[in-house]
């Protein structure tokens, strides 16, 4: 007995060893077989990472596993992926592995597919990417063995965690099936048999850009009769669930040569109104198990006809309910008097003749009755819409009766009685003659709150009337925070904006007693130190869909620390650009005018403005406006009035603040009745220390005009003239927006201010020209506005005064020399020797005088040097330098 068990044990061990070893022996043959089957049947590029064979996994059958299978199309879908499958496995008899290409077709018993992504596509020319099976080169009439590379004798199959996309460019149909899990069991070996299937998936479906299903969950348990000989598939016992709505359907699908014949009917097995709630996606309807309902609801549908390139089945699908009601257990309000009468029909089989009639859609909440009806025709082309609304609705009751999760709380009473009829092309092309709008709508006590705004917006009243071309806003009163708004105007193409991609056009007149900009900003925007509402790589944008003009009239506008009075002007918004036109205001005890624009069309927002100021209080304006402080930081030390015109442009940062490094432009400034508060700044203290003969508090700045230009972060100032008593001053230079200084001031100082030594020297010349002598002295101003440096240049002043004194003395000597030359010539002509000798002496005197002026006489040169030293000492004392003691 022991020997028998020993033999059995050894035999089992050998079998197990063979089951483990044989797959390695046949590994290459399996790969060749898979490649052969693929190449013989598919006209596409197929790749896979590996093929594995196992006898243990599905013993006594062989188990083949293919990993990372990718199928890529040839022309006309070259390099597009038709299918990618992470893993596909199948089982077959071991004898099937040993078959060659000349033997009978291979029989596969079961197939398992995991994580398959499949794209079925038909282009506008009718080419299909799934038409990849190779055509045989045999006779036109093929036998079964010739037409099949392998046959199926399937006991079961399964597809898990997969997805499918269907795109038909000819009919503009798109379908997405995600989270697909499907399995079936059948024996497909006779002409008629049955297939038992279970399917779970989410489906999205759109036709001609209209979404009919959006990720709706679908369940389907179907028992299908398979008539393979006639290619007819009959649904025998079938139950489907769309969202939470159960459906039963019957009928068949028959495959024809160039079409499919369909005859299917379906309906919901129940008849309560809860079935209607089940039709709504669960994300919106929530859990409907505890909802109280009354009244009935019924869905019935018939789809019968051919699906081909030119036809669809005839349709008759209806949704009906009469005097129904529902109430959610956790909500206080009840929706009642619900009447629904809707149908989807096509009586011709032409897809363009499909239409939807919402004949009645009525409901009541409390005492508010809302009635509506709509018809949609020609839905696959230029859709025709005819809609009617008549009723009132308390917006606050919406969330009290239905479990909607709104981001923003709504309150207010909405009333409407209007009719609209149009085609979609008319909206897109603004063909107002084909848009028929009539009626009115109003809203009162409407309160809108959101995280995106600081204060709720309370619209106390808004009335609108509808006409084909526009919507007229006859009365609009609103308040938010401390701000109030009153408006009227018109809106063009409102339906085109709501239903298409058109711009929203409008013209409005807006009045306000108080308008605080901070009331319309988010908390993050109002407080720049907090987290901003935009990310580091994102800036605010002017909406591209706006095309409107706003004529504003506000008594007071508060922006940051500015109070603008009597603000009037126009704001034009178009093409992501906001333009201010003829904007005027009273501010800083003067008047301001602005024209310009802000554009956010490009990645970096830009601005360009012309600003005019008339009679600005200098101290107030330069203290409050950062832009003016950067243009002329010294001006905040001035007291008086200012007229200026400023033209500037540049980039804006993410907070819509000018990037000073990019600002370019020019300015013209005029000071009126202006004084200097010299004790307020370090700059004037440094200047007075270097220029002791000037009292800056008495500097005359009246009617001062200057021109400025700015670019590359620097402000350049054209030379301008100042007057201090009888001293002329010329100033020019530049400063940076970082408040660095590069200025020079030339002081033309009269000689009389140079002290007694210089005045005595001038007195010896005894000439009227001496009274007009001035000495130009340059003060170079550097450093920064908060830490300035002042340096004076005395060399040019000394040299200038010396040259002037020498020139005066030279002219006097030349005039004296002329008289002596005349006398000498007379004596020569008269032959008087005594006179001739005298003339020679005079001539020598003239030469000595001219020589001393020209520089030939050392005594005169020393005298000139002494004059220079005298001048230099005088200037040094004048500009705060101590005179050195004589040795």
Distance CA 687, CA 721 (A): 17
Q: Look at 787 and 389; give whichever has higher pLDDT.
A: 389
Q: What percent of the chain has pLDDT over 70?
A: 70
Closest CA to 164 of 199, 133, 194, 210: 199
> Residue 82: its pLDDT value, please?
87
> Residue 457: its pLDDT value, please?
84
**Residues 371-396: what's their mean pLDDT?**
90
Distance CA 484, CA 507 (A): 19
Which of the four pLDDT bands, split at 50, 70 and 90, describes residue 497? confident
Distance CA 711, CA 737 (A): 10
Which of the four pLDDT bands, split at 50, 70 and 90, describes residue 557? confident
Which of the four pLDDT bands, split at 50, 70 and 90, describes residue 31? low
> Residue 176: its pLDDT value, please?
92
Strands (E), 454-589: 457-466, 470-480, 483-492, 504-516, 546-559, 562-574, 577-587
Kindly calculate the radius of gyration of the chain based on its CA atoms and give it in whole angstroms. 49
Of the listed ranges 117-121, 324-328, 654-658, 872-876, the least confidently predicted one is: 872-876
**Residues 317-332: what's their mean pLDDT?**
93
Count CB neighbours of 201 within 10 A: 20
Burial class of residue 62 in the structure, from the number of CB atoms within 10 Å of its CB (0-12 exposed, 13-18 middle, 19+ buried): buried
Q: Calculate the average pLDDT of the chain.
A: 76
**Residues 710-736: what's their mean pLDDT?**
84
Q: Look at 304 and 717; give whichever has higher pLDDT.
A: 304
- pLDDT tens track for 801-837: 667 767 776 776 776 666 655 555 555 455 455 444 5
Which of the four pLDDT bands, split at 50, 70 and 90, describes residue 107? low
| Omega before 748 within 30 of 0, i.e. cis | no
> Residue 200: its pLDDT value, please?
93
Residue 854 in this model has a pLDDT that exceeds 50: no
Residue 313 in this model has a pLDDT that exceeds 60: yes
Residue 163 in this model has a pLDDT that exceeds 90: yes
Burial class of residue 256 in the structure, from the number of CB atoms within 10 Å of its CB (0-12 exposed, 13-18 middle, 19+ buried): exposed
Which of the four pLDDT bands, split at 50, 70 and 90, describes residue 328? very high
Distance CA 116, CA 178 (A): 10
What's the length of the chain?
887
Report the b/e string of 496-532 with b at 16+ CB within 10 A.
Answer: bbeeeebbbbbbbebebeebbebbbebeebeeeeeeb
> Residue 128: its pLDDT value, please?
85
Which of the four pLDDT bands, split at 50, 70 and 90, describes residue 536? very low
> Residue 433: its pLDDT value, please?
78
Q: What percent of the chain has pLDDT over 90?
A: 18
> Residue 527: its pLDDT value, please?
41
> Residue 835: its pLDDT value, please?
45
> Residue 324: its pLDDT value, please?
94
Q: Look at 105 and 467; give whichever has higher pLDDT.
A: 467
Distance CA 200, CA 556 (A): 63
- Chain centroid to Cα 677, Å, comes to 47
Of the listed ranges 292-296, 516-520, 650-654, 743-747, the least confidently predicted one is: 516-520
Count CB neighbours of 473 within 10 A: 19
DSSP β-bridge partners for residue 368: 365
Measure the CA angle with vertex 662, ends 656 and 668; round to 5°: 95
Q: Look at 229 and 56; give whichever has higher pLDDT.
A: 229
Report H helices in 214-301.
274-279, 282-285
> Residue 48: its pLDDT value, please?
79
**Residues 273-278: what's their mean pLDDT?**
85
Do the beta carbons of residue 301 and residue 319 sit within 8 Å? Answer: no
Distance CA 316, CA 306 (A): 15
Instruction: Name, in order, each residue with C-beta under 8 angstroms of 680's C-beta and a sequence gap of 6 or more.
Output: 636, 637
309: left (phi over 0), alpha (psi -120 to 50) or beta: alpha
User: Domain-by-domain residue ranges, the chain?
Assistant: 243-404, 750-878
> Residue 857: its pLDDT value, please?
42
- pLDDT tens track for 165-219: 999 888 788 999 999 999 988 765 556 678 888 999 998 888 767 666 778 888 9
Helices H, strands E: what count in the chain? 17, 37
Closest CA to 226 of 252, 201, 256: 252
- pLDDT tens track for 610-643: 988 888 887 777 777 777 777 777 666 677 787 8
Q: What does DSSP assign to residue 842?
A: H
Closest CA to 361 of 324, 333, 394: 324
Distance CA 506, CA 550 (A): 8
Which of the four pLDDT bands, split at 50, 70 and 90, describes residue 451? low
DSSP β-bridge partners for residue 593: 584, 612
Residue 320 in this model has a pLDDT that exceeds 90: yes
Measure the CA angle with vertex 612, ends 611 and 613; round to 5°: 125
DSSP β-bridge partners for residue 377: 384
């Amino acid at each position: 007995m022991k020997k028998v068990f020993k033999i059995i044990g050894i035999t089992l061990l050998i079998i197990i060893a063979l089951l483990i070893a044989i797959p390695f022996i046949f590994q290459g043959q399996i790969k060749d077989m898979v490649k052969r089957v693929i190449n013989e049947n598919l006209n596409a590029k197929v790749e896979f990472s590996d093929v594995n064979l196992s006898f243990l996994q599905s013993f006594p059958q062989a188990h083949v596993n293919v990993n990372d299978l990718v199928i890529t199309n040839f022309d006309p879908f070259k390099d597009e992926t038709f299918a990618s499958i992470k893993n596909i496995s199948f089982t077959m008899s071991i004898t099937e592995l040993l078959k060659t290409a000349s033997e009978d077709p291979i029989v596969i018993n079961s197939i398992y597919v995991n994580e398959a992504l499949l794209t079925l596509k038909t282009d506008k020319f009718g080419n299909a990417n799934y038409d990849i099976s190779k055509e045989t080169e045999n006779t036109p009439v093929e036998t079964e063995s010739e037409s099949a590379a392998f046959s199926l004798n399937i006991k079961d199959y399964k597809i898990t965690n997969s997805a499918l996309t269907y795109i038909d460019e000819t009919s503009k149909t798109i379908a997405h099936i995600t989270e697909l899990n499907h399995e079936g069991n059948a024996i497909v070996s006779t002409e008629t048999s049955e297939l038992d299937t279970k399917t779970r998936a989410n489906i999205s479906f759109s036709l001609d850009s209209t979404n009919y299903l959006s990720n709706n969950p679908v369940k389907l348990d179907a028992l299908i009769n398979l008539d393979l000989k006639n290619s007819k598939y009959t649904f025998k016992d079938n139950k489907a669930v769309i969202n939470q709505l159960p459906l039963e359907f019957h009928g068949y699908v028959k495959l024809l040569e160039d079409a499919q014949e369909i005859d299917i009917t379906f309906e919901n097995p129940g008849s309560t109104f809860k079935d209607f709630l089940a039709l709504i996606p669960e994300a919106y309807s929530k859990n409907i198990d505890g909802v109280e309902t009354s009244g009935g609801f019924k869905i019935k549908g018939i789809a019968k006809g051919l699906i081909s390139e030119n036809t669809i089945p005839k349709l008759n699908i209806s949704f009906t309910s009469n005097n129904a009601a529902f109430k959610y257990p956790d909500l206080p309000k009840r929706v009642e008097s619900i009447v629904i009468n809707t149908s989807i029909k096509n009586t011709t089989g032409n897809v363009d003749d499909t239409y939807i009639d919402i004949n009645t859609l009525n409901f009541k909440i409390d005492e508010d009755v809302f009635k509506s009806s709509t018809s949609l025709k020609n839905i696959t082309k230029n859709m025709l819409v005819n809609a009617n609304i008549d009723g009132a609705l308390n917006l606050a009751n919406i969330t009290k009766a239905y479990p909607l999760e709104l981001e923003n709380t709504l309150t207010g009473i909405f009333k409407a009685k209007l009719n609209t009829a149009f085609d979609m092309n008319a909206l897109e092309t603004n063909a107002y003659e084909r848009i028929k709008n009539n009626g009115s709508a109003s809203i009162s006590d409407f309160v809108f709150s959101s995280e995106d705004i600081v204060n709720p917006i309370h619209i106390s009243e808004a009335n609108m009337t509808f006409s084909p071309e526009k919507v007229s806003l006859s009365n609009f009163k609103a308040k938010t925070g401390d701000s109030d708004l009153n408006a009227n105007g018109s809106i063009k193409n409102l339906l085109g904006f709501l239903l298409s991609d058109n711009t929203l056009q409008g013209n409005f007149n807006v009045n306000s007693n108080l308008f605080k900009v901070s009331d319309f900003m988010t908390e993050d925007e109002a407080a720049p130190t907090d987290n901003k509402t935009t990310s580091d790589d994102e800036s605010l944008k002017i909406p591209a869909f706006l095309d409107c003009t706003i004529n504003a009239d506000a008594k007071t506008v508060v922006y940051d620390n500015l109070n603008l009075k009597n603000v009037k002007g126009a704001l034009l918004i178009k093409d992501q650009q906001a333009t201010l036109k003829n904007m005027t205001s009273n501010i800083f005890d003067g008047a301001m005018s602005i024209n310009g624009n802000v554009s956010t069309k490009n990645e970096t927002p830009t601005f360009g403005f012309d600003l005019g100021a008339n009679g600005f209080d200098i101290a107030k304006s330069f203290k409050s406006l950062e832009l003016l402080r950067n243009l002329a930081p010294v001006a905040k030390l001035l007291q008086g009035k200012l007229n200026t015109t400023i033209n500037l442009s540049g980039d804006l940062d993410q907070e819509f603040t000018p990037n000073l490094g990019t600002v370019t432009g020019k300015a013209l400034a005029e000071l009126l009745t202006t004084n200097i508060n010299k004790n307020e700044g370090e700059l004037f203290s440094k200047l007075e220390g270097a220029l002791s003969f000037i009292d800056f508090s008495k500097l005359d700045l009246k009617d001062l005009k200057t021109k400025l230009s700015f670019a590359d972060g620097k402000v350049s100032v054209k030379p301008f003239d100042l007057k201090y008593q009888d001293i002329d001053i010329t100033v020019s230079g530049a400063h940076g927006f970082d408040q660095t200084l590069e200025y020079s001031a030339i002081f033309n100082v009269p000689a009389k201010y140079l002290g007694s030594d210089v005045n005595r020297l001038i007195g010896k010349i005894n000439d009227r020209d001496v009274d007009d002598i001035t000495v130009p002295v340059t003060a170079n101003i550097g450093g920064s506005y908060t830490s300035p440096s002042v340096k004076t240049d005395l060399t040019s002043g000394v040299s200038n005064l010396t040259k002037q004194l020498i020139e005066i003395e030279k002219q006097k000597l030349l005039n004296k020399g002329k008289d002596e030359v005349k006398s000498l010539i007379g004596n020569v002509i008269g032959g008087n020797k005594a006179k001739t000798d005298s003339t020679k002496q005079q001539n020598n005197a003239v030469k000595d005088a001219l020589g001393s002026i020209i520089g030939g006489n050392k005594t005169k040169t020393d005298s000139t040097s002494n004059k220079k030293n005298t001048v230099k000492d005088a200037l040094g004392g004048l500009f705060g330098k101590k005179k050195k003691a004589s040795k």
